[in-house]
Structure formats: C-alpha cells, structure tokens
Amino acid sequence: MAVPSWLTVCSTLMARKSSLSPENQDSPASSSTSGSSSDNPSSTETSLNSETSLQSIGSLYSLPSVASLQLHSTPQENLSPINFRLISSVELNSGAIQALHLAGKCLYTGTSGNQIQALDKLNLALVSTLGNPNPCGKHHGAVKSLAIDGDSLFIAFQDSKIRVFSLTSPKQKPITSLPTIKDRLIRFIWPQNYVQIRRHRKRLWISHADAVSAIAINPGFLYSVSWDKTLKIWRLSDYKCLESLKAHDDAINAVTVSKEGFIYTGSADKRIKVWTKRNGAKRHELVATLERHKSAINALALSSDGSVLYSGSGDRSILVWEREDSAQYMSVAGALRGHKRAILSLVVGSVDLTVGSVMVFSGSADRTVRVWRRGADGRHICLAVLDGHHGPVRALVAGFQGGLDHGLGSWFVYSGCGRGEVRVWEVSGSNSEETELL
C-alpha cells in the first residue's frame, strides 16, 4: 500500500488553509453578538479594527441575494444635480457623539461622556449645557438617544434609565426619571410585578435591566428599547409604564413608530419585528418579523406615510422595505450599497411619495455620510458622499429650509462621530415638491 510522503501531506494542508483564508472568501464574515457594538465606544473601536480587511474588498456587494435599487447614472443622466458644502464643525470634549436632535433653533447633542449640550443649529456655538442628571455627580454612562415632546426632553442613558428635562426651566435639571418613584412604589410590594433577569436577581418589570439604546415618541406615548431585549411603552401624561414586551432574542438597537401606531424594532438578532395593538386589545402583539439582514441591525428610519422602511446593518447594506399586504405588511424591495463598513445611523426626509421624491441620509463606520434620493418609481441614486469625519458616524439628523415655492431649498444635515465631532452640511438642489422632516 502506497503511503503519501510527509511533504505531500503538508503541502495539501497548506493549500487548504490558503483557500480558507479571509482574503480568498467571497464575502466578509458577519456576526451578531449580544449587545450593540455600534453603540458601545470601546466595542466599536474593536469592531473597526476587526473590519480593516473590508478595505480590500469594499467593492464587493453585501447581501447579493437582495436586488439593488440603485441607479448608477452618469453625471449627464443625473437630472437633479446636487451641491453640498461643509458649513461648520465643532469638536466636543465630552466623548463620542451618540445622539442628535433638532428642536427650534438648537441642536441637542448627547455624548458617551454623560453630557447634553444645546448648540446653535447654524454655527454650532454652545448655547447651554444641561445640568448634571445626578446631583451627586455619579456618572450614568453614555447618552444613547434623545427625543423631544413639547417642552420636555427625554434622554436615554446607558445606566438603564430615561431622564426627563424641562427645556423651559432656567436650571434645566431633570424633573423626573422613568420609571418614576410613584410607579415603583405602587408596584414593588406585589411579587407578580417582578421578573427574573439573572439567576439570583429579580427586577420590577417596569424597569429596564440594561442600557436603553433608543427611544421614540408618538403622540401621547414614549417607546423605549434596551439591550435587555425588551420594548416598553410609557404614557406621557403621567409617565406611567403601560407595557413591557420581550421583543427579541438579542439586544435591541433601534425603534421607530408610524403615525398609525405600528412599532418597528431592530435587534442584534438580525431581525426587525413589527408590533401593533389591534382594536379592542389590551396589549401590543407581534404582527410580522422581517428577516433578510446578515448582521446586527443598528438603525431604522420610516417614511412619513409609513409605507417605506429603511434598515441599516453591520452587513454594510441598507435594506428598503415596502408595505405589501400579501407579505405580512412589509416585504423587502431591494438594497442600497456603497458604504464600506457598518451602517450606524439613518434619517429620512420625504415628500408625498405619489408625486415627489424621498431623501435618505445614512451614516457609517466608514466615516462617511451618503445622500440618497428615491424617485417616484422606487429607484434610488446616491447623490453625494460627505466625508471628513475622523470616526464612525453614529448620529444623524436633517432639516429642510427655504424656497419651497420656487422649487429651491437646502437640506441641513447634522452628523456626529465617535471622536466627538459635530458637522453641519448644506445639501442643495432643485426640488419642486414640499418637503417634510421625519
């Protein structure tokens, strides 16, 4: 019997090892770990280091099974030329920019260093700094998300709390936190109000057990999601927690709500889930699960009429979902590709979809912001790439201003990165339709 030589065996093994190396893979490996690497500064830096190999394969499309919705037009074919310029930038010394929110003449910023600052929305000059949420000076961790309802500013923190500030108070100190002391006192006596969060630890079901990663507001209600895998619904009139749903199998990173009351949650388990309360029902229930992403979902954005949903993931793709009754409310229409690293933030500004276009802005760990336009036929084109940030673009917000009657106007796009820098861009072009910020 012939026995292969030692050299022959070694050469065969080396050839197999070479064929399995990352450089020879058809697509980059994607993973979904518990927690949100896009929201945790230390884990994001680790993620960026681990993704350096993507630079060499940036031209490869993610999710090849999903059809592209992009129009790859030449400048001559692009009938809507666009101009953009950097208006101003400022670097804050309180950590990575985690959240941005526009209200009136101010841009509110939340950082990983537990700071909330109001900046002038045009020149980014400091207007005010909100008081320390803890009078004892204890650090609450990163600010994860911001939302405003009337004169109240809601801030989600990494310490599992949601704190409420009054924007009209001269001291600008928190007026309460969620859950409220009253809500906790009413419930703490009864054993049925506790849920098991660890082997030897229980907690009131009205309290989050991990970082509150995102919040959203629909008239009368606040919606919060957490790395503890739950979705909670709060009544704004008295700040009472009405429901808590075990929504996902992994950390939840994003939430958005339609005017009709449909709630969309995106998780590190690679799924988007749709929730609603049917007529006469006491609780929200799951009506659809959307599964096409290959990595953790980091961002969600919804069109004004609720018919189009955009989702951004660690697989470098933006999936476009459209309402379709035959496909359990939403089905994937296609993908937008171009970013070289994970999608971390999304904003949609739209007009009437029957006659106009939709503007979509995406921020990525590749340190760029992309400007997309959706036409009436559902096809998209990338109009611009805004670069210059020195870290991953974690937060985005946009507003439209001026010239609607003459078909001229500008989008002002605010981007915040992991190095503490905030930038404001002006993006202008011809658009004769009335535009609304989401």
Q: What is the pLDDT of residues 109-164, one digit of tens each?
A: 999 888 899 999 989 999 988 865 454 445 578 999 999 999 999 999 999 999 99
Position 20 in a domain: no
Instruction: Please state, for a pLDDT cut of 90, what percent of the chain lies above it.
Output: 55
**Confidence grade of residue 67 (pLDDT, cut at 50, 70, 90):** confident
* Contacts for 410 with CB less than 8 Å, ≥ 6 apart: 400, 401, 402, 403, 426, 427, 428
What is the model's pLDDT at position 377?
84
- Which tens digits make up the pLDDT trace of 196-237? 887 778 899 999 999 999 999 999 999 999 999 999 999 999
Q: Give the CATH number for residue 277.
A: 2.130.10.10
Position 19 in a domain: no
One-character DSSP codes across 14-50: HHHHHHTSGGG-SS------SS-TTT-HHHHHHHHHH
Position 119 in a domain: yes
Position 63 in a domain: no
Reply yes or no: is the peptide bond before residue 179 cis, omega within 30 of 0. yes
- Poorest-confidence range of 193-202, 261-270, 299-308, 418-427? 193-202
**Which of 210, 202, 131, 203 has its CA nearest to residue 166?**
131
Q: What is the pTM of this model?
A: 0.80
Residue type, 10: C
Residues 225/212, Cβ–Cβ less than 8 Å: yes
Position 59 in a domain: no
pLDDT at 57 > cutoff 50: no
- Poorest-confidence range of 79-93, 152-166, 260-274? 79-93
**Confidence grade of residue 327 (pLDDT, cut at 50, 70, 90):** low
Residue type, 69: L
* CA–CA distances in Å: residue 128 to residues 111, 121, 148: 15, 13, 16
Of residues 247 and 12, more confidently modeled: 247
pLDDT at 106 > cutoff 50: yes
Position 259 in a domain: yes
What is the model's pLDDT at position 115?
86
What is the model's pLDDT at position 294?
93
Average pLDDT of the chain is: 80
**Which of 242, 283, 241, 289 has its CA nearest to residue 267?**
289
Position 3 in a domain: no
Provide the domain limits for residue 130: 33-48+70-437
- Which tens digits make up the pLDDT trace of 397-432? 998 876 444 445 788 999 999 889 999 999 986 443
Give mean pLDDT, residues 81-100: 90
Of residues 248 and 191, more confidently modeled: 248
Number of domains in the chain: 1
Position 60 in a domain: no
